[in-house]
Amino acid sequence: MTPAITSRLPHVGTTIFTVMSALATEHGAVNLGQGFPDFDCDPALVDAVAAAMRSGLNQYPPMAGVPALRDAVSAKIAALYGRHYDPGSEITITAGATQAIITIILAIVHPGDEVIVLDPCYDSYEPNIELAGGTPVHVPLTPGTFEPDFGRIAAAITPRTRAIIVNTPHNPSATVWSAAHMARLAELLRGTDILVIADEVYEHMVYDGELHQSVARFPELAERSFVVSSFGKTYHVTGWKVGYVAAPVPLMAEFRKVHQFNVFTVNTPVQHGLASYMADASRHLALPAFYQRKRDLFRAGLAATRLRVMPSTGSFFQCVDYSAVSELPEADFCRWLTTEVGVAAIPLAAFYKGGFEQRIARFCFAKKDETLQLALTRLAKL
């Protein structure tokens, strides 16, 4: 007989992303639910990794990551956001952004600490906090606009608040924080010991000529922040699971204590390949135009449907209000859309603690043009 165990995450089941992807496969639906591209990465990146493998770079790298890749990350951040992170002591390569975030939380959150999360939010935040023994404190973004409500954030701060998680560009709403938002956050946290976990995995997907407002741009915030990004999102290789964290020395020292016993280090030839590939900065600087064209193609097609297109100023997601199409709750609507219309989406309510019905669904437009056109043909029948 299997021994009984007490679950560390008793309320966690199969994620909505897994459920909807399986449903899409079962019914032959176009999967615009889960956030990953259906197109290949640049062959030059694969060649760079293969070259590293063939040259014998296949053993453990340094715990914090291959020096050349940390140098490249430091140079990129300095060029884009004007802050220098020391590659030796302030940048660590991670096994994707998800591992980065849980490692940060395990490093800084103690039992009884509170961490503010802004709903709707990525589904790993709360379980990570709970595994560290902390308490997630959910503060909703403003319904409709998804603007941060600093009055409500201020009201949620207590003497036990250890950190706040900020995600911009935002998954799932596809909104971005402005410089004014960042300045307001800095003002709010001034004089506290509250840390910022800045989930910036979509940093290179900001549209209409706007700039990504990384916390690294704001010295007062940077001093208390962990900045997280993802090579997988940036270079269309989500399955490689490689990312990075940048943080001041005192924060990074604590991060590395956990990282070395969590994954220890990350795939060596992939790190060398990425370092070589990053030497050409145009490869990440071209991303806003690349994805804005896909966004505009998708939005133009959606305009011919009864779905109301909501703003999409960052990330590779597009939210729609389906109130004119159906009165079904969001999860039921997305299942119906998948099984009957042949297009998979994700209910926005899945990103809220306890759910929150607004009749909004999220699509991913990081797809081949023909994939998007097929989805639009099917959605036009609504």
Which CATH architecture group holds 16-41+285-379?
A: Alpha-Beta Complex (3.90)
**Distance separating alpha carbons of residues 10 and 130, to the nearest angstrom:** 11
Residue 187 has a pLDDT of 98
Q: What one-character DSSP code corresponds to residue 3?
A: P
Is the pLDDT assigned to residue 168 strictly greater than 90?
Answer: yes
Scanning 82-163, the segments in alpha helix (DSSP H) are 96-108, 125-131, 150-156
Of the listed ranges 11-20, 234-243, 265-274, the least confidently predicted one is 11-20
Residue 214 has a pLDDT of 98
Which pLDDT band, with edges at 50, 70 and 90, does 13 fall under?
confident
Q: Which top CATH class is 43-283? A: alpha beta
E strands, the chain, are 30-31, 91-94, 114-119, 135-140, 161-167, 195-199, 225-230, 243-246, 308-309, 317-321, 343-344, 346-347, 360-364
Question: What number is the average pLDDT over the span 285-312?
Answer: 97
56 sits in the region (left: phi over 0; alpha: psi -120 to 50; else beta) called left
Q: What is the pTM of this model?
A: 0.97
Q: What are 145-162's pLDDT values in tens digits?
A: 999 999 999 999 999 999
Which pLDDT band, with edges at 50, 70 and 90, does 354 fall under?
confident
**Distance separating alpha carbons of residues 160 and 164, to the nearest angstrom:** 12
Average pLDDT of the chain is 97
Element (H, E) at 331: helix 330-336
Phi/psi at 346 (nearest 5 deg)? -115, 135
Q: At what angle do helices 287-302 and 369-379 cross, to 10 degrees?
A: 20
207 sits in the region (left: phi over 0; alpha: psi -120 to 50; else beta) called beta
Of the listed ranges 12-26, 94-108, 258-272, 329-343, the least confidently predicted one is 12-26
Share of the chain above pLDDT 70, in %: 100
Q: Tell me where in the chain the CATH 3.40.640.10 domain(s) lie.
A: 43-283
Residue 296 has a pLDDT of 98
Which pLDDT band, with edges at 50, 70 and 90, does 355 fall under?
confident
Phi/psi at 344 (nearest 5 deg)? -95, 135
Share of the chain above pLDDT 90, in %: 93
Element (H, E) at 244: strand 243-246
170 sits in the region (left: phi over 0; alpha: psi -120 to 50; else beta) called beta
Which pLDDT band, with edges at 50, 70 and 90, does 232 fall under?
very high
Residue for token digits 């679950």? 7
**Distance separating alpha carbons of residues 222 and 54, to the nearest angstrom:** 39
Is the pLDDT assigned to residue 54 strictly greater than 90?
Answer: yes
Residue 18 has a pLDDT of 87
Question: What number is the average pLDDT over the span 342-346?
Answer: 97
Residue 89 has a pLDDT of 98
Which pLDDT band, with edges at 50, 70 and 90, does 16 fall under?
confident
Q: Tell me where in the chain the CATH 3.90.1150.10 domain(s) lie.
A: 16-41+285-379
Residue for token digits 């760079």? 48
Is the pLDDT assigned to residue 19 strictly greater than 90?
Answer: no
